[in-house]
Every structure is written in structure tokens, then in C-alpha cells.
Amino acid sequence: MKEIIFILLFIIPGMITITAQNDYIVKTSQQTDSNMSEEDRFVESNFPLITLCKWTPGLKFMFIPDGNDLFIPVFNSYETGKEADSSKLKHRFFEFQGIEEKAKEIHVGTNYSTRFIFNCEGNKYYYEFKGQRLDDICERNPRASINGLVYLPDVDTARNLLIGKVVYTNFTTARVDDSNSYAGYKTITIPKDEKVAITNIGVGSKSYPVKVVFEDTAGNSYYTEVALSRTNSGMDKSDFQAEKKMKYFPNAFSFNNRQTLTAENLKNKYTGMAVYPKQTMSVKCFINVDGRKTENQVRLLRYTSLHIKDIEIKLPETKAKLTLEDVNGSIFELEVDLKYDIITKNENYIEDLLAFGDIRKQYPHTTEENWKLISQGEVQEGMTTDECRLALGNPIQIEFKQDTRFETWLYARKMLEFESGRLLRYK
């Protein structure tokens, strides 16, 4: 009882302090990448990652130990503290109930451990991180996870959203269940970019919780296991490389056939997008004079705010003609290539010529006069360090004076001196 009272007295004042401290912890709003694929947006919108230290009571899992986890106990009984037989808990539902931190006085100080507590069919079990407090667990290892636990909310959400959906495969090997195999399945080669229908969703493994069963147009049934939110998988997006690449849903399946890009899909993707030139370029400009449309070749300055008004695709090639409009209503035309060729290194690749977004919204206090100078690679006294960097790029070297208000930027043919972030002089 003394220990319980001590814990409650420790926690309640702490909650008041933490609430006050949290007012000082601020974060940026969630950003949406305009270049994100439809599949990535699908996962980000419907399958949020919940890291171990942010679990809340009620989260459901299924215990599916594999390898050594089947023979080495993962959980302990909450009532007795004894190790639980993993084989007897296999395929049982586990519901997360909370976290308990234990402190034990030893001869060299205090030894802490953190227990994650679960309910399994009326019995309580815990998984213990020995020698670590809760904050230590996630600070030292953001990918921390609990062995054998398969995150079921991913399976439930996938069932609701994917069963019956037509998708296209990006992989060439799939599995079929086989009771005569020691592995329980056999591997089958299938065509890439195959049109298939998802017929069922089940539970997979800790790393790849969602078993996707799909059927091709000939009625053949296969499955693959994929990750979605990556909750308790211990994996980051960057881990899905080489043989693991197709184990992440956005890599494994496409909602559209990538080999059959239609003009309509591309028009929908690019039309209306805000863009700006990365470098000053020569383009066609169309102006109405006395009701007549005249064409001129003009220099379109970098950082000019534009939006894609229309796009004319030349399928099956990857070339396209963009119709661009600036804030004054002037119309420009630009020929681009929508696909980068690593062999020919085509110079008119769209992402080499244009950047997506409105850069001027990122620097709302920059005047029109300064934008004109910046676009021409020029600077003037009074410009900010950001404005000078936009105009000239990153310096070769930055030197700070003893008084940190002063700094000098060195370029190949220029030297800029700043005071408190403003350009004092240049030569």
C-alpha cells in the first residue's frame, strides 16, 4: 500500500507540471506532400503510426510468435510474475491496458523497469523493459516494439477499405497456402502490373500485419503480407529496401496501372498545381493585342509564381506541353518531359525545370523589388540572409566575428557582410 500511495502522490503533482510545460512544446502542422503518391496518401490518411510510448488503453493485438519467440517466453503473468508459455498464448487476443513503472532499491542506487500490461481472455500479462524508464525506451530507440504482437487495427481498417477493391501488383512473387509445406505456403511467380481484386484480408506477422488475399482475372488466388501503419513493426519507411521493398503496401500495390498512364490521369495530377522556375528560362509567351493572339519568345525569370493551367500529353511518349499562367494573367508555353531518362539525361525533365509550390508564400515579407533582384541573382543592402541565399545560393564559407551579430559570407566572386541578419555591405 505504501508503494501505491507513493506512486499516486508522485504522479498527480507531476501531471500539473507536465501540463504547464507542454504549453512551451510546439510543433508544425501536418504537411501534405504534393508529390506523394495516391497509395502513400491512402496509408498516411487511414493508418497512422502509433509509437510504443504513445499507446493508449484499448489497442488490440494478436500474439503470433515466430522463431525464438515461440520457445523463449515473451510475457509474464501479472498475478504471479512467472514466465508465460508463448506456445499456449499463440493466436490469442491481447488488449493493451496501460504502463507501469517499477523501482527497486539496490546497493548502487535505484533500478527501474517498465511494464506494458495486457489483458488476454481475462488474464493479465506484462512485457518488461528491464533497466529502463518509459522516457528512456523511446528516446534511445524510437523503433522500440514488443515481440510477437501483431497490430490488429491495421487489419480491421484494411478490411473495411480494401476488400473488393481492384488494384495492380508491383511485385512478381506471391504466396499460396500449402499444408504440405513446412513453411505453410509455397511461392508462385506472377506477372508484374497484373490487374487483381482483393478478396480477403487477414492477420499476418508482427512486421507485416496485413495478409492480403487477391485474385487475378483468371480466378487464381494468391496472398502477400504487407505493412501499413508500421505500429509495433520496429520498422521505418527507409527499411523497406531490397527484398523488403514490396512488404510495404504503397510499394506492393498501385490503385492505377502505372504502365498505362492515361492523359486524363496526368492532367488531373498536374493541372492547377502551383509551380515556379528553378532557373531563368526561354519560353513562348502569348498576349492578346486588339483581339489578336500574338506569340513572343521571352525570358521567364526564376521564382516567378505560376500555376499549370493546362497540359497537353503526347502519349505514348512522355513529353508534354504545359500552359502556364502568372499572377497577371500572362500565358506561357513550355515543353517538358514527364519522365527522367538516366541514360540520355534529358535536360527538359519537368522537375529539373520547375519546382512545385508557391515559393513567395514561404517568404511573405520579401518585397516585389527584392524578388526582382533575387530572380536575377542580385542582392542589395538591407536584404535578409534568406533573401541573399535565394539570390546567390549557399556560400562557400561563413565566418562569424567575435560579436555574433556580424557574419561574412564568402562566394567565388562575392563577399557579403551581415549585421543581425541584414546585409550591411557587399563587394
DSSP labels, 226-278:
EBSS-TTT---GGG--GGGGGGBHHHHEESS-TTS--HHHHHHHHTT-EEEES
What pLDDT sits at residue 402? 73
Cβ-contact 320, 308 below 8 angstroms: no
What pLDDT sits at residue 319? 85
Reading the block at residue 261, the C-alpha cell is 498512364
Cβ-contact 406, 419 below 8 angstroms: yes
Cβ-contact 286, 295 below 8 angstroms: yes
C-alpha–C-alpha distance, residues 43 and 52, integer Å: 19
Q: What is the DSSP string of 129-150?
A: EET--HHHHHHH-TT---TTEE
Write the DSSP symbol of residue 366: -
**Per-residue pLDDT averaged across 121-143, rounded?**
91
Look at residue 4 and tell me whether its pLDDT is greater than 60.
no
Q: Say if residue 328 is exposed, middle or buried (CB neighbours under 10 Å; 0-12, 13-18, 19+).
A: exposed
What pLDDT sits at residue 403? 74
Residues with Cβ within 8 Å of residue 341, at least 6 apart in sequence: 349
**Per-residue pLDDT averaged across 28-37, rounded?**
65
Q: pTM of this prediction?
A: 0.58
Nearest 10 degrees: CA dihedral of 138, 142, 145, 150? 130
**Per-residue pLDDT averaged across 37-62, rounded?**
95
Q: Which residue has the higher pLDDT, 120 or 70?
A: 120
What pLDDT sits at residue 16? 42
Q: To the nearest whole percent, how much of the chain has pLDDT over 90?
A: 63
- Best CA proximity match to 426, nearest among 397, 418, 369, 374: 418
What pLDDT sits at residue 201? 98
- Kindly report whether the peptide bond that precedes residue 316 is cis, defined as omega within 30 degrees of 0: yes
Q: Say if residue 60 is exposed, middle or buried (CB neighbours under 10 Å; 0-12, 13-18, 19+).
A: middle
- Best CA proximity match to 150, nearest among 53, 62, 54: 62
What pLDDT sits at residue 110? 83
Look at residue 19 and tell me whether its pLDDT is greater than 80.
no
State the pLDDT confidence band at 150, using cuts at 50, 70 and 90. Answer: very high
**Per-residue pLDDT averaged across 62-90, rounded?**
92
What pLDDT sits at residue 36? 83
Q: How many other C-beta atoms can be found within 10 angstroms of the C-beta atom of residue 39?
A: 19
Q: Which residue has the higher pLDDT, 8 or 72?
A: 72
Look at residue 12 and tell me whether its pLDDT is greater than 60.
no
For the stretch 338-351, pLDDT in tens is 877 777 777 888 88
What pLDDT sits at residue 405? 85
Reading the block at residue 159, the C-alpha cell is 478490411
For the stretch 398-413, pLDDT in tens is 988 877 789 999 999 9
Q: How many other C-beta atoms can be found within 10 angstroms of the C-beta atom of residue 339?
A: 11
What pLDDT sits at residue 256? 82
Look at residue 95 and tell me whether its pLDDT is greater than 80.
yes
Cβ-contact 210, 225 below 8 angstroms: yes
**Per-residue pLDDT averaged across 21-25, rounded?**
65
**Per-residue pLDDT averaged across 127-155, rounded?**
92
- Indicate the helix (H) or strand (E) that contains 116: strand 109-120
Write the DSSP symbol of residue 162: H
Cβ-contact 35, 50 below 8 angstroms: no
Cell 510499394 sits at which residue? 251
State the pLDDT confidence band at 103, using cuts at 50, 70 and 90. Answer: confident
What pLDDT sits at residue 383? 95
Q: Which of 43-47, 167-171, 315-319 has the lowest mean pLDDT?
A: 315-319
What pLDDT sits at residue 67? 79
Torsion-angle region of residue 46: left (phi > 0), alpha (psi -120 to 50) or beta? alpha
Q: How many other C-beta atoms can be found within 10 angstroms of the C-beta atom of residue 173?
A: 13
State the pLDDT confidence band at 370, using cuts at 50, 70 and 90. Answer: very high
Cell 510495404 sits at which residue? 248
What pLDDT sits at residue 32? 55
